[in-house]
Amino acid sequence: MLIRTHNLTKIYPGRFSVPDKPAVVDACIDIAEGETVGLVGESGSGKTTIGHMLTGLIKPSSGEISYCGDPVTLPLRGELRRKLQIIFQHPEISFNPRLPLIKSIEEPYHFYRKADGVQALYDEMGQFGIYPEHLNRLPAELSGGELQRASIMRVLAVRPSLVVLDEVTSMLDSISQAQVLQILKDYQKQHQVSYLFITHHEALCKVFCDKVYRIHEGCIVGLVGSTSQGFNL
């Protein structure tokens, strides 16, 4: 199993007189190599908290995460930092607003794939719908769909094993949404990446995911898969 969590729990410390708050309780999630796993639930149910724990952005309060059978410990080091990635709902936060797009895309690429040379990066851009005319623009000079495709490219160009997709299409119109999902699927076919697809949008899970966990008030309350029982969200 690429990723397995066992009784993963996050309790955010309360502030002032507010008590500690469990955001995720005893979550057990399996993500196989090349699999797309949905995580669906209402606002505040703990989806993003799980995504942040899986990618090392926040520390679990208890429970374990394993990667190919080995425990994941924080801070993430070495190859694990490259392999566990997240793409956010608002692509602006992945880019420096004062730098041309290409600078922000090249930075992680140079860090992790310097040996492949910059031409390989340019060769890959077209499959993400990013073209030379976009590269010297500031993030604010791109459409929402273009910027989200650029943020996807920035992450996938470093060849991750798991990408948490946190509401990545929710700010997009239906055409851009379909483009982004197609790009993600096409890339997955080539590179066997796994996705954790976080969404409120149950219908999207049916078309995009191999199996779907449902979360309610921090607890995983259901799992349906397209291959076993069929989707019955």
Ligand X SMILES: Nc1ncnc2c1ncn2[C@@H]1O[C@H](COP(=O)(O)OP(=O)(O)OP(=O)(O)O)[C@@H](O)[C@H]1O
Residue 36 near residue 194 (C-beta atoms within 8 A): yes
81-to-62, 185, 218 alpha-carbon distances in Å: 21, 23, 26
Closer to ligand X by CB, 22 or 144: give it: 22
Query: CB of residue 121 vs ligand X: minimum separation in angstroms?
Result: 31
Q: Determine, following the binding rule CB under 6 A, whether residue 43 of this chain makes contact with ligand X.
A: yes
The beta-strand segments (E) located in 15-61 are 21-27, 30-31, 36-40
| CA–CA separation, 30 and 12 (whole Å) | 24
Q: Which of 48, 94, 161, 177 binds ligand X (CB under 6 A)?
A: 48
| CA–CA separation, 88 and 169 (whole Å) | 9
- Contact letters for ligand X, residues 168-197 (x by CB under 6 A): ------------------------------
Query: CB of residue 175 vs ligand X: minimum separation in angstroms?
Result: 24
Q: Determine, following the binding rule CB under 6 A, whether residue 59 of this chain makes contact with ligand X.
A: no
Q: Determine, following the binding rule CB under 6 A, whether residue 214 of this chain makes contact with ligand X.
A: no
Secondary structure of residue 17 in the 3-state scheme: coil
- Contact letters for ligand X, residues 8-27 (x by CB under 6 A): ----x--------x-x----
Letter for the amino acid at 141? E
Give the binding range for ligand X (CB under 6 A) out of 45-53, 65-73, 137-145, 172-180. Answer: 45-53
Query: CB of residue 223 vs ligand X: minimum separation in angstroms?
Result: 17
Q: Determine, following the binding rule CB under 6 A, whether residue 231 of this chain makes contact with ligand X.
A: no
Give the binding range for ligand X (CB under 6 A) out of 27-35, 46-54, 93-101, 223-231. Answer: 46-54
204-to-25, 133, 174, 211, 230 alpha-carbon distances in Å: 25, 31, 11, 12, 15
| Residues whose CB falls within 8 Å of the CB of residue 27, separated by 6 or more in sequence, listed in order | 5, 7, 8, 9, 46, 50, 63, 215, 218, 219, 220
Closer to ligand X by CB, 61 or 188: give it: 61
Q: Determine, following the binding rule CB under 6 A, whether residue 49 of this chain makes contact with ligand X.
A: yes
Name the H helices within the chain.
Answer: 47-54, 79-83, 101-113, 118-125, 132-135, 144-156, 174-191, 202-208
Query: CB of residue 218 vs ligand X: minimum separation in angstroms?
Result: 7
Q: Determine, following the binding rule CB under 6 A, whether residue 227 of this chain makes contact with ligand X.
A: no
Task: Give the residues lining the site for ligand X (CB under 6 A).
Answer: 12, 21, 23, 41, 43-49, 200
